[in-house]
Chain A
Amino acid sequence: MNNVPDNKDFTMTTSGREGIRGWLNPTRYGWERVSYWLQRLTGLGLLIYFIGHVYETSSLTNGINAWNSMLQLTQTLGGHLFLLFVIGASTFHTVNGIRLIFTESGKGLGKPGRPDYPYHAASLNYKQKSGIWVAILLACIAMLYGGMVLFGQGG
């Protein structure tokens, strides 16, 4: 315990720090960076949706009219698009999240070994990348299906 670093040592010199600008172009370092960015974005998006959803359902307590007028709000084009985003986001976040739970517990990354030039980082392997692609793909499929359900009913 006595070795916990003392954060006060580090002054807040952010000079030279990339800051949130570093998020702007998620593709420049490869798929893992895209995954990082999407996981954050979808996580935040879902949180907003979740808060909204809890608020939305609270109208149940005020009877059928309140519920219906609340539903009315979501039955718009914008509402449907937002719902579509939520479907995609939750699919991606969940699938990628499961991948990350494994990864961040050290599973599926390969073993350290003697690196051979030209170096290929074991951790940025095919399994990981395909995990990300699958998450994106499933998110797209879910959105397509969701779109069919939502818009198919002439919403």
Chain B
Amino acid sequence: MTETLLYDIIIVGSGLAGLRAAISAASKNKNLKIAVISKVQVMRSHSVSAEGGTAAVLYENEGDNLESHIYDTIKGSDFLADQDVAELLVKKIPYEIIQLDRWGMPWSRKENGRIDQRKFGGYSFPRATYAQDKVGFYEMQTLYDTCLKYENITFFNEWFCTSILHNSNTFQGFTCIEIKNGHFVNMVAPSGIICTGGAGRIYSFSTYAYSSTPDGLDMAYRAGLALKDMEFVQFHPTGIIPSGILITEGARGEGGYLINSKGERFMKNYAKDKLELASRDVVSRAMITEIQAGRGFKHVSGVDCLKLDLTHLGDEKIKGKLAGIREIGIKFSGVDVINEPIEVRPVCHYMMGGIHSNVDGATELNGLWVAGEAACNSLHGANRLGANSTSECLVWGAITGELAANYSIKYKSNSINVDNQQISTEEKRIFDRIFRGKGDVNPYEIRKELTDTMDENAYVYRTESSLVEGLKKIRQLKSLYWKHVDDQVKEYNTNFLNVMELDSMLRVAEVVLLGALNRRESRGAHSRIDYKERDDNNFLKHTLAYYNDDGEPKMNWHPVTFTRYAPAERRY
């Protein structure tokens, strides 16, 4: 028998969403035992990379208002957002900002001692609350440190979750591998929250941390939960070459220009009001159009690109507000942004899609919630506005933490009756079929092919043929003889984890491509050259994908919730 650990709440993932959920649950009741599992050491989660800001309405008497944040979010989503969800975010996020201030967050301040905010793409008011250009890092640190206050939170650093245990439609727990020693362990609890973040590593050119692979999504998918709106992948306009490391939108929020090889601020031709601060999908498309029209630059590595010019901002502003960007530029691109423009190119940055949930973050399994980037409660619709994601993580972290706590208090552990069959099936899947699997193709080569295929066939602009070809390629890779692990040592076996991650990447990439193929319209981040217009008659609905035993995913649709705004044309 494998070891079993019993907790009251299990949170998988320790990014902003996971840690916020842990605090929310822990402060609900001191007797709840909360486990936070993460495949990286807790404070190293991908959220530390977030740079630019967290959107919130703080200054209602200075011209901002909640309604405007709600509308901007919905407009940004190209009207695919569920409007009740957007409302909830906007109402709750000011609390979270002030709450973080009480917990020690080093928000950047105005001279009068109040919290400062900066402009961000797609907003009608400077609303991105920031802490220099390391917002996510500081938020993570604040939440991590605050977690240490609670004796009832236990961190499981470097534990890899492999599957969800459930009993028809009730959540029971997770199966995990303790990476340090390779032990297979069951963690059971009345309630759980999945906060495993985004999956952008299915692309090669990506701003994400290496740990952002879709194992969390895949785990839910395999347990029969739907993945929603996965075709909507956000490409951020400014990734540096060759690493894909992000230059925050805050750089444009502070006044940076995008220029083409003629030295023009070309955005005036695409979004004449907002220019560089139009929403991300608009700017990225404009960039690719410029490049295709031959007005791009060539990076020394041979890649086409444009340039981001910050030189006119001046030494002081850059050092004061964009210090991290300058550091990244010098170190990873060899360019000091104070003196010269930096080469950038649209880069995979965010997944609007995720595990299907309702407005509260509840999934189709009783007792299981999702929060953060892994969730798709349909806040972002077809395109997320910058700075709305860290907001989402905080708000739904807090909500799901509290709901899960209430649930666990109500049902205690007597709802648990773990199905041993599931555990042994999972054990077979990962140890017999993966760890001791056989194959002659190098999984790392498969991974490279997969991510390159995604870069090529499901980038900013998509067509029927590129998507079909991508799908064919992925299925072909899937069928190759690659599922094996060379390294047979139990301790800290990253080779094993890489292969498990790849397994999930292949499945989720297929869902992305299939969703994109089915959506014959252009909406938000999903732009089809062959269907240039938004088609509200046929596609004003969410895509759902269900797992089908390694056959083709079962696709379905789900209605959008409207409460206040009818779809309108979107201009910036």
Contact = CB atoms under 8 A, between A and B. Distances in A.
- Is A–B contact present in the complex under a CB 8 A cutoff? yes
Decide if the interface of chain B is mainly helix, strand, loop or mixed: helix
A114 to B, nearest CB: 7
Interface string A27-50: 000000000000000000000000
A118 B327 CA distance: 7
A9 interface: no
A10 interface: no
A99 to B, nearest CB: 31
A18 interface: no
Nearest to B320: A114
A117 B327 contact: yes
Contacts of A6: none
A16 B323 CA distance: 35
B520 interface: no
B330 A117 contact: yes
A115 to B, nearest CB: 8
Interface centre among A114, A115, A116 (most CB of B within 10 A): A116
A114 B320 CA distance: 8
B532 interface: no
Nearest to B132: A114
Contacts of B326: 117
Contacts of B323: 114-117
Decide if the interface of chain A is mainly helix, strand, loop or mixed: loop
Nearest to A115: B323
Interface in B312-363: 319-320, 323, 326-327, 330-331
Interface in A107-128: 114-118
A118 to B, nearest CB: 8
Interface residues of B, number: 7
A82 to B, nearest CB: 51
Contacts of B320: 114
Contacts of A118: 330
B138 to A, nearest CB: 14
Nearest to B327: A117
Nearest to B331: A117
A117 B330 CA distance: 9
Interface in B139-174: none
Interface in B283-323: 319-320, 323
Interface in B240-258: none
A118 B323 CA distance: 10
Nearest to A117: B327
A117 B331 CA distance: 10
Contacts of A116: 319, 323
A121 to B, nearest CB: 15
Contacts of B327: 117
Interface in B197-233: none
A114 B316 CA distance: 12
A70 to B, nearest CB: 61
B321 to A, nearest CB: 10
A115 B326 CA distance: 12
A94 B53 CA distance: 52
A114 B318 CA distance: 12
Contacts of B330: 117-118
Nearest to B329: A117
B132 to A, nearest CB: 8
B515 to A, nearest CB: 41
Nearest to A116: B319
A114 B327 CA distance: 13
Interface centre among A115, A116, A117 (most CB of B within 10 A): A117
Contacts of B331: 117
Nearest to B318: A116
A32 to B, nearest CB: 24
A115 B320 CA distance: 9
A116 B327 CA distance: 8
A118 B336 CA distance: 11
Contacts of A115: 323
A118 B331 CA distance: 9
A111 B330 CA distance: 26
Nearest to A119: B327
Interface string B419-434: 0000000000000000
Interface centre among B320, B326, B327 (most CB of A within 10 A): B327
Interface in A15-72: none
Contacts of A114: 319-320, 323
B356 to A, nearest CB: 43
B245 to A, nearest CB: 14
A119 to B, nearest CB: 9
A29 B127 CA distance: 44
A114 B106 CA distance: 12
Interface string B75-87: 0000000000000
Nearest to B319: A116
B262 to A, nearest CB: 32
A9 to B, nearest CB: 15
B151 to A, nearest CB: 14
B8 to A, nearest CB: 25
Nearest to A118: B330
B350 to A, nearest CB: 26
Contacts of B319: 114, 116
A37 B489 CA distance: 42
B492 to A, nearest CB: 15
A81 B44 CA distance: 55
A78 to B, nearest CB: 55
A30 B313 CA distance: 37
Nearest to B328: A117
12 contacts: A114-B319, A114-B320, A114-B323, A115-B323, A116-B319, A116-B323, A117-B323, A117-B326, A117-B327, A117-B330, A117-B331, A118-B330
Given A114-B323, A117-B330, A118-B330, 9 more contacts: A114-B319, A114-B320, A115-B323, A116-B319, A116-B323, A117-B323, A117-B326, A117-B327, A117-B331
Interface of B: 319-320, 323, 326-327, 330-331
Interface of A: 114-118
The 7 closest A-B pairs by CB, nearest first: A117-B327, A116-B319, A117-B326, A117-B330, A116-B323, A117-B323, A114-B320
